[in-house]
Amino acid sequence: MGSYIEFKNVKKVYNMGEVEIEALAGVNFSIEKGELVIIAGASGAGKTTILNILGGMDNLSSGEILVDEKVISKRNTTELITYRRHGVGFVFQFYNLVPNLTAKENVELATQISENPLNIDEIINAVGLEDRKNNFPAQLSGGEQQRVAIARALAKNPKLLLCDEPTGALDYKTGKSILKLLQNTCKETGMTVIIITHNLALAAIGDKVIKVKSGKVDSIVINDKPVDVEKVEW
Ligand X SMILES: Nc1ncnc2c1ncn2[C@@H]1O[C@H](COP(=O)(O)OP(=O)(O)OP(=O)(O)O)[C@@H](O)[C@H]1O
Cα Rg, the chain, nearest whole Å: 17
Which parts of 117-159 are beta strand (E)? none
Binding-site size for ligand X (CB under 6 A) equals 13
Q: Which of the stretches 16-24, 78-86, 112-120, 124-132 binds ligand X when contact is defined by CB under 6 A?
A: 16-24
Up-side HSE of residue 5: CA atoms within 13 Å toward CB? 29
- Distance, in Å, from the CA atom of 23 to the CA atom of 12, rounded to the nearest integer, reads 6
Q: Rounded to the nearest 10 degrees, how much is the dihedral formed by the CA atoms of 183, 187, 192, 194? A: 20
Q: Which residues neighbour 195 within 8 Å (Cβ) at sequence distance 6 or greater? A: 36, 37, 38, 39, 163, 166, 179, 182, 202, 206
78 binds, among ligand X, Mg ion, none (CB under 5 to 8 A by kind): none
Nearer to Mg ion, 48 or 185 (CB): 48
Residues numbered 39-58 forming contacts with Mg ion, rule: CB under 5 A: 48
Window 43-62: contact mask with ligand X (x via CB under 6 A): xxxxxxx-------------
Q: Rounded to the nearest whole angstrom, what is the least distance from the CB of residue 44 to Mg ion in the complex?
A: 8
Nearer to ligand X, 44 or 190 (CB): 44
182 binds, among ligand X, Mg ion, none (CB under 5 to 8 A by kind): none
List, in sequence order, every residue forming a beta bridge with 22; answer none if it has no partner.
Answer: 13
Nearer to Mg ion, 97 or 103 (CB): 97
Amino acid, res. 132 = R
Nearer to ligand X, 13 or 227 (CB): 13
Amino acid, res. 95 = Y
Q: Are 28 and 217 in contact (CB under 8 A)?
A: yes
Q: Rounded to the nearest whole angstrom, what is the least distance from the CB of residue 109 to ligand X in the complex?
A: 25
| Order of all β-strands in the sheet with 208-213 | 88-91, 160-164, 192-197, 36-40, 208-213, 216-222
Nearer to ligand X, 49 or 145 (CB): 49
Q: Rounded to the nearest whole angstrom, what is the least distance from the CB of residue 188 to ligand X in the complex?
A: 29
**Residue 23 is a binding residue for ligand X (CB under 6 A):** yes
Amino acid, res. 79 = E
Nearer to ligand X, 48 or 102 (CB): 48
**Binding stretches for Mg ion (CB under 5 A):** 48
**Binding stretches for ligand X (CB under 6 A):** 14, 16, 21, 23, 41, 43-49, 93
